[in-house]
Structure 1
Amino acid sequence: MPDSRVPRPRRFLVCEPRHFAVQYAINPWMHPDHHVDPGLAHGQWQALIRAYRAHGHTVDVVDPVSDLPDMVFAANCALVLAGRVFGSYFLAPQRRPESLAYESWFKTAGFDVYRPASVCEGEGDLVPVGDYVLAGTGFRTTREAHHEVQEFFGVPVVSLQLVDPRFYHLDTALFVLDDGKGGGEANIAYYPEAFSPGSREVLTRLFPDAVIATREDAMTFGLNSVSDGRHVFISPRATALADQLDRHGYAPVPVDLSEFHKAGGGIKCCTQEIRS
């Protein structure tokens, strides 16, 4: 099995953490008294970009805006499928201007952008895998937005209820190991206790061979990871999860983004995938 995993080149959009800081609290990880080391944060972010490029992935960079400290979390700006962009509408007023900044980048790059009418936080709560879009709700993105996503893309949307505020976005509790687009079988890794009982049953039915993470690995942002079908860019503190992935034929690539954990984010939060 280890030799059968084939990586697929991806195109990622990121934002330099030039203005990253914890200036307010909009999730349980954030405390305004948390001091962010700007130099360390920038160095960690650069290490992530180097890791992506070293593994054959394309990385585009959007210019940061000075008064938007969370703009580094590019995943929340949109969902891009088949070259179509479904934009974002943030729950927190502090983050809403980010939507326009990213929309401007997409339009300059030649994309049309759909503006949702309901609260929707992009890939934070929208995870394409196989024939579906898995969609989180409970803390940020609304079920009404799930309906908008299905109507816009014409792809079945599976709503999943998040129940633990520590895992306020779907991408903190679940990530795609193989999206099924490169010939492999679609599969995920997730932390069951982040979901309602009914949502856990849905995930079990859809992904019977999923990798199940421990709470310890989930709390170290081990599920805020990015996979290209073989390489998994993952928090170095999620050691048990990395061992599991290795046994399943994936190649963990540890990247430390611990400064961004202070704002409730990690590798995936900093990474938007542009799917053409």
Structure 2
Amino acid sequence: MERLPRNRTYLMCPPQHFTVEYAINPWMDTTAAVDADLAVRQWDKLRTTLTGLGHVVHVLDPVPGLPDMVYSANGAFSVDGTVYGARFRYPQRANEAVEHRTFYQRGDDWRFVAPEHVNEGEGDFAYLPNAYGGIVLAGYGFRTDPAAHAEAQEVLGRPVISLKLVDPAFYHLDTALAALDDRHVTYYPGAFSPASQRILAQLFPDAVLADRADAEAFGLNLVSDGRHVILNTEAVAMGHKVREAGYLPVHVELSELKRGGGSVKCAVAELRA
């Protein structure tokens, strides 16, 4: 099957203020210093890789005191011009949601809906517009409350499939599952509860299955335009798997962002107007 790209629009935030000042996931180590200059260079390489593939990248201004703003995927979740805002689990990140809300409310292209329930945006939501008429896959277990799934369904008008995450190392859905195009996914089964594994197998019998080593390399924290799959350089085996499935892997070095528990997808929010 020929894999065809689709032009996308993304939102990213440069890591000028990125540090690991606190530990809110198993990957964060406050004793290991972050190379801020290297983080910015790696981030910019990711940005130029996306624009070089023909995609539009909007940039959100970083704010001092919010070191995790670089993980822009967590700030909201948009579908067809409607934006379901984030409400972060941890107070250290709470003000990021305000910055994202301001971004969307500046223009006339978006209908922004503030959440009542805790959720961390695209960190725990993925949209597949051509699967079953358009469905949202939603993770819970560590960061997002299950009640946010029902709230998102009402806000977005799309069916939401709840998936339980059970391994603290894969605390967001986007560390355990990724959309490869508008109807195909890749995921690591061991990150999910047995029931959620059965749901995924039923919905996506042709999924590209990852193993734990792929997930630990943040190989599932990827961005795909339907043909080009952008992964970090450590995810070599995952690159082979997506190539075997007909996609073209594009590797980008993001070693510094991994110190905070994220990689390619965490740094990139898709804007679906």
Which of the five TM-score ranges fits, normalised by the shorter chain? over 0.9
Partner of 2:114: 115
Give me the whole-angstrom Cα distance separating, in 2, the residues matched to 1:53 and 1:6. Answer: 17
Give me the whole-angstrom Cα distance separating, in 2, the residues matched to 1:112 and 1:201. Answer: 35
Q: How does 1:117-136 map to 2 (within 5 A)?
A: 117-129=116-128, 130=131, 131-136=134-139
Give me the whole-angstrom Cα distance separating, in 2, the residues matched to 1:34 and 1:112. Answer: 41
For structure 1, list consecutive stretches of 5 or more residues without a partner in the other structure: 180-185
Give me the whole-angstrom Cα distance separating, in 1, the residues matched to 2:124 and 2:45. Answer: 25
Partner of 2:177: 174
Q: 2:96 aligns with which of 94, 98, 105?
A: 98
Q: 2:250 aligns with which of 245, 253, 267?
A: 253
Partner of 1:58: 56
Does residue 154 of structure 1 match 2:153?
no
Cα offset for 1:238?
1.4
Q: 1:227 aligns with which of 224, 229, 236?
A: 224
Cα offset for 1:56?
0.4
Partner of 2:264: 267
Cα offset for 1:237?
1.5
Cα offset for 1:236?
1.6
Runs of 4+ in 1 over 2 A off after TM superposition: 109-112
Cα offset for 1:244?
1.3
Q: 1:49 aligns with which of 44, 47, 55?
A: 47
Secondary structure of 1:269's match? helix
Cα offset for 1:153?
1.0
Does residue 202 of structure 1 match 2:199?
yes
Letter in 1 for 2:117: S
Cα 1:178–1:36 change in 2 (3 A) is same
Give me the whole-angstrom Cα distance separating, in 2, the residues matched to 1:265 and 1:44. Answer: 13
TM-score (norm 2): 0.97
Q: Deviations over 1:85-114 (max 9, x none)?
A: 100000000000000011111111322321
Kept in 2, the 8 Å contact 1:88–1:119? The answer is yes
Partner of 1:36: 34
Q: Deviations over 1:26-84 (max 9, x none)?
A: 00111211210011100100000010011000000011100100011000000010011
Secondary structure of 2:11's match? strand
Aligned-pair identity (%):
50
Aligned residues: 268
Letter in 2 for 1:221: F
Give me the whole-angstrom Cα distance separating, in 1, the residues matched to 2:228 and 2:56. Answer: 15
Give me the whole-angstrom Cα distance separating, in 2, the residues matched to 1:120 and 1:34. Answer: 28
Q: 2:239 aligns with which of 235, 239, 242?
A: 242
Does residue 188 of structure 1 match 2:191?
no
Letter in 1 for 2:138: A
Secondary structure of 1:47's match? helix
Give me the whole-angstrom Cα distance separating, in 2, the residues matched to 1:219 and 1:109. Answer: 38
Cα offset for 1:247?
1.3
Partner of 1:183: none
Letter in 2 for 1:159: S
TM-score (norm 1): 0.96
RMSD: 0.7
Cα offset for 1:143?
0.7
Secondary structure of 1:5's match? coil
Secondary structure of 1:70's match? helix
Give me the whole-angstrom Cα distance separating, in 1, the residues matched to 2:244 and 2:210. Answer: 14
For structure 2, list consecutive stretches of 5 or more residues without a partner in the other structure: none
Give me the whole-angstrom Cα distance separating, in 2, the residues matched to 1:220 and 1:262. Answer: 12
Give me the whole-angstrom Cα distance separating, in 1, the residues matched to 2:114 and 2:31. Answer: 34
Partner of 1:182: none
